[in-house]
Structure formats: structure tokens, C-alpha cells
Amino acid sequence: MRFIRTLFIFLSFNAVLYSDVKTGKTLLNEGSCLECHNLEDYKNNKTKIKKFKQLEARVQACQLAGDDGLFDDEVHSISKYLNKEFYKLKK
């Protein structure tokens, strides 16, 4: 019984993590991000960003400059997506 409970918690946690990344991808693709950036900008990543918090701060600044009105959790989701797919930074 304990194993099943642990497995359920683990699978639920992974679903939440994956949904953040999936939401981030949707927000990036459907928002105004791609009006200024294209995915090649992220693929050819030669940046000074070395930590996840720096990436998140950059996404926050970008959304403020674009007046997108994103919530903090949406900025976090976009940052998680960019990190998973392109930056691969440690948290």
C-alpha cells in the first residue's frame, strides 16, 4: 500500500511538472513572444544566462516590455519550457 501511495505522489508530481512545461510552450507560441523572437534565437543560444533565475528574470523583463500582462506562474511556465528545450540550466 505504501508503494502505491508513493507511486501516485510521484506520478502526480511529474504531471504537474510536465503541465508547466506544456503550458509554457503554449504561452510562448500563442503569445507575443514570437513577434520579437524566433525559435532559432533560442537554439543558437550564446547567452550570458547561467542560472534559471536569470532566465526567469529575462522572461519577466521581456513580458513587461511587451506589456503582455502575464502572471508570475505563466512567466515561470515559459521559463521552464525554454530551459527544458533550449537552455538546460540547473535550478
Confidence (pLDDT) at 55: 93
Contact 84, 77 (CB under 8 A): no
Confidence (pLDDT) at 20: 84
Record the pTM: 0.75
Confidence (pLDDT) at 29: 87
Helix or strand holding residue 30 (H, E): helix 2-30
Find the mean pLDDT for residues 68-85. Answer: 92
Q: What is the pLDDT of residues 31-46, one digit of tens each?
A: 888 888 887 777 776 6
Contact 59, 78 (CB under 8 A): yes
Phi-psi sector, 46: left (phi>0), alpha (psi -120 to 50), beta: beta
Confidence (pLDDT) at 60: 94
Find the mean pLDDT for residues 11-27. Answer: 66
